[in-house]
Chains A and B, each alone.
Chain A
Amino acid sequence: MPTIDGISDMVIRTTMTHAIQEVMRTMLNQSADFHSEIDARKPGDTASETAGSQVVGTVGFIGDIDGLIYLYLDTEFAEEAAAHLLGLTDEELEQVGDEAINDAIGELTNMTVGTFKNQLCDRGYHCKLTIPSILRGSNFSIEPTSSVTRRTYHFEVGRHRIITDLLMKIDR
């Protein structure tokens, strides 16, 4: 069975970048640019990147490798993305409420994590997706247990940003 040691930092970064770019281009007709890697060992760095009201989608993957990806979108971007996906005006989106936005961001996260993990599957790391879930809030941080490897990236999408936070188990 392949181990996570076989996946370099560069592979993780390019795989994640491809996933984000593919989903943004196909579903939102927007280009996404890699901006920077955030040092997750410094909680302050992550917190400053995700300050303000956030909609966070989460989808896991389990199999030869286990992991979880959080997708952070500021609320304004989440609303714009949901309106685009659902073909709704701002007023119509307001009527359908947060549930529709949550579902749309959950699906965007599902697609992103799917594209990420499908590339790993094709490298021999077989795994399956889990069902999406959503977190909402401001100024919160996610702290993993010590037995995970973590990579956090900042992407620019138009005037918005997306933060991807990847956590993978390292000891199996």
Chain B
Amino acid sequence: MRYKILTVDDSKTVRIIVKKAFRTFDCDIIEASNGVEGLAGAAKERPDVILLDVTMPVMDGVEMLTKLKADPALRSIPVIMLTAEGGRDSVIKIARIGVRDYIVKPFREEVLVDKVGRVIDLKPLSENPLKAKSILDSATILVVEDKPAIVQQIQDGLKHTPWKIHGVATINESVDFCTRNQPDVVLVSLSLPDDAAFTLFGLICTNVRTKYTPVFGLVVKTEIQAQQQAQQIGFTSIVTKPLDIPDLEAKISKAMNLDTSQRYFTTDQDVFVLKMPEIASQSSVNEMLTYLKPKMAEAVDAGICKVILDLHELKRLDVIAIKALLQALQLCRELGLQHVLVGNPQIASESQGFEDTKSWTFANSLEEAKASLARTSPSFSAQPAAAGA
């Protein structure tokens, strides 16, 4: 359910500033230009919060507030005054009628969002809620770390991704960064002086713009106490040093709920390609298998009936990789898909060492595989007798 915010102000400029302030949040802004329109809007729309000016023509904000509070159906709607009337006595008088908060103009948009965020649970609006972000989309990763070498390792390790890695050394710099940008993930060193990581975590969690941002703690593997403390207060995940970059990348992808299927599955004209990663770790294979059935079904649904299992980047054919490939081959057979394996000399050689794979034959390149598929019967494949074991 989208929250509704009613802004009652005779100045169109203020109403536009209010809309601008909340444009990145999942809420609707309803406008009224005086107290009469405001009461009508409140009765019709039942907003979750009202932003109310005082000096307006037709009916001013004080009269509207008094009438609102006298109406049993509307009195529970929280009201935040947003007005240039800020003398001490005026504020006290209006506060006594019953307001949740009071903002005196001039005001900053961040203050407005912060105050409204204390009344309703504002959620950031994703750019396109119908489409999950993928690993091909850009993202902003903030690294709060006073050791430049660690920041450099992360930047180097993730340079193949479209993510922008920003390194800052202090809590003040990170707060400054977060006011100007909205990071998708924050990595903060738990060894910053004066427990700064935990202070920053608190600030991130209480700021309406960043409260849903995943926060990772960066810590040396042996610092168990700091890890436990971070987990207890709700850090999204812990990343240990020395850094395991593939693991970090997987954690960031998971925290951002990214669609990572493009790492393993592509469609090349009328051919569905499954690409094994360079190292078939248990976590990467699990990730790949999560997408296997739905992606292959999607391809078949789109009229594709040719599959290439691309192992040419795979460095080692071990049990983990073999199990995953056997599942993929089984699925190909169940769906009646033509399939071809692409390998390299190392993989071809290693495949001879396993009962399940010794009958596999490999094309040397995607082009060779495609040419083979173009013929009725592919010459490079995993024969049923061997693959079915």
Chain A residues in contact with chain B, CB under 8 A?
22-23, 26-27, 82, 85-87, 100, 103-104, 106-107, 110-111, 113-115, 117-118, 121-122, 126-132
Contacts and interface: CB of A to CB of B under 8 A. Distances in A.
29 contacts: A22-B106, A23-B106, A26-B107, A82-B13, A85-B17, A86-B13, A86-B20, A87-B16, A87-B20, A107-B13, A107-B14, A110-B11, A110-B55, A110-B84, A110-B105, A111-B84, A114-B83, A114-B84, A114-B104, A115-B86, A118-B86, A118-B87, A118-B104, A121-B87, A128-B90, A129-B54, A129-B84, A130-B55, A131-B55
Contacts of A131: 10, 55-57
A126 B89 contact: yes
A100 B11 CA distance: 10
B108 interface: yes
B347 to A, nearest CB: 56
B238 to A, nearest CB: 39
Contacts of A118: 84-87, 104
Contacts of A86: 13, 16-17, 20
A57 to B, nearest CB: 11
Contact of B88 (A26, A103, A122): A122
Interface in B72-128: 83-90, 104-108
A7 to B, nearest CB: 15
A64 to B, nearest CB: 11
Nearest to B55: A129
A49 to B, nearest CB: 24
A111 B106 contact: yes
Given A22-B106, A87-B16, A130-B55, A107 B11 contact: yes
Interface size class of B (residues with CB under 8 A): 20 to 34
Contacts of B13: 82, 85-86, 100, 103-104, 106-107
A23 B108 CA distance: 10
Contacts of A121: 87-90
Nearest to B90: A121
Instruction: Among A26, A110, A127, find the residue whose CB has the most chain B CB atoms closer than 10 A.
Output: A110
A104 B17 CA distance: 10
Contacts of A127: 87
B12 interface: yes
Contacts of A22: 106
Given A103-B12, A117-B87, A128 B55 contact: yes
A27 to B, nearest CB: 5
A132 B12 CA distance: 12
Given A106-B13, A107-B14, 17 more contacts: A26-B108, A85-B13, A86-B13, A86-B16, A87-B16, A100-B12, A103-B13, A104-B13, A113-B84, A114-B85, A118-B85, A118-B86, A118-B104, A121-B88, A126-B89, A129-B85, A132-B11
